[in-house]
Amino acid sequence: MSRPAIARPAWRVLANGAALAIALAIAAEFTSRAFRDWLNPDGPSPVSPVLCAVLLGVAWRNTVGLGAGFLPGLQWITNNLLRLGIALVGLRLSLSGLASTASMALPVVIACICTALGVSLLIGRMLGLSMPLRLLLAAGTAVCGCTAICAVTPVVRARAVESGLALTCVVVLGCTGMLVYPWLAHTVFGNATNAVGVFLGTAIHDTSQVMGASLIYAQQFDASDAVPVAGFTKLLRNLSLLILVPLFAMWTGNAEGGGKVKRSQVLPAFLIFFVLLAVVRTAGDSIVAGTAVAHAWSQMISATLGASELFLVCGMTAVGLSVSLKDLRGIGSRALIGALVVAVAVCTCSLSMTLLMQHFAST
């Protein structure tokens, strides 16, 4: 008789993928420091650790490859360590910062969502894309990437191949934007971190990609304040699912079979903690101001934010490891063109609207 299979401990299942992501993250940190010592010994590295982490992850995935045994650990890094890092970024914000960010970001968010919907429907019709695929591309580009596509798929009665195409486009184009937009933001907005954060928070697809881009900008241009602004702007985009999902349900005549959206899709736990930690930061700063524990509070905040950055570097390594260039072969040319046009339109709208809101804020 064959011996029954023995279940492996949970840590053994996760070990390979987690160890690979951490090892590549450490290599990314050393690579970034090497560039700093070589090109800019007295200042920040010209190549950020997050950028190195993403590129190392993509390079490993598409040269060495990944066995199935690595996937659970990488999923754990993405679902836990990366989200914890994003949540801790909330400690960089205060309640007054949230209010000022919302007043600038909300008009940009609304304009980008309307642009994505209009352009997706128009270009999709010109290219002969199905209505479900058009709506998936609009939701994935304008709202929250993969999460929005998963929320909208049953509502618009999308087939598996259509949701697969939309997901692949979001991952590929979103990661491309994550690597390109930080430099575009610096070229257009310079060191105006609020404007940069709003642009990155509205122009890039998925939450992890937004945080990766904002962290690349922060590390490249020594502007850490852009990270929480981008994160909060992305949260405002997520809230639009509360309106878009029922709207798409009515649009496609599926009001009875869909139209509801889960709380976890609109406000995942890590974004709720992001806001709560901003509240904690505001209350803590107010309580300890001028007391003997003010210095200790400041050191604790600094240490926690340092840990957040490390978690984000590890998480972005896992994101890089998820990008398979072979998947590009499976994307129909019409779907990719459509997704690209929508992404460029949203980027253009975000740039224009952010410049406009920046002008109003300065007058």
**Between 192 and 38, where is the model more confident?**
192
Q: What pLDDT digit, counting tens, does each position of 309-361 carry?
A: 899 999 999 988 988 877 777 677 888 899 999 999 999 999 999 999 988 87
Domain extent at residue 195 = 12-362
Identify the pLDDT of residue 2. 47
Task: Give the mean pLDDT of 73-78.
Answer: 91
Identity (one letter) of the amino acid at 130? S
Q: Are 192 and 154 spatial neighbours (Cβ–Cβ below 8 Å)?
A: no
What is the rounded CA–CA span in Å between residue 285 and residue 283? 6
Q: Could you tell me if residue 339 is inside a domain?
A: yes
pTM: 0.86
Which has the minimum average pLDDT: 41-55, 247-261, 298-312?
247-261
Distance CA 226, CA 168 (A): 28
Q: Is residue 5 part of a domain?
A: no
Counting the structural domains of the chain, the total is 1
Task: Let me know if residue 186 belongs to a domain.
Answer: yes
| pLDDT score of 210 | 92
Percentage of the chain beyond pLDDT 70 is 91
Q: Is 158 a domain residue?
A: yes
- Flag whether 188 is in a domain: yes
Q: What is the pLDDT of residue 1?
A: 44
Count CB atoms within 10 A of the CB of residue 204.
32
Q: For 205-233, how does the pLDDT look when each residue is reduced to its tens digit (9 = 90+)? A: 888 899 999 999 998 888 888 999 999 99
Q: In the structure, how many helices (H) and strands (E) does the chain have?
A: 16, 0
Burial (CB < 10 A; 0-12, 13-18, 19+), residue 5, is: exposed
Cβ–Cβ < 8 Å for 202, 109: yes
Rg over CA atoms, the chain? 21
The answer to whether residue 88 is domain-embedded is yes
Is a pLDDT exceeding 50 seen at residue 182? yes
User: Is 307 inside any structural domain?
Assistant: yes
Res 5 pLDDT > 50: no
Within a domain: 4: no
Q: What are the CA-CA distances from residue 104 to residues 92, 100, 115, 225, 361 (Å)?
A: 18, 7, 18, 15, 8
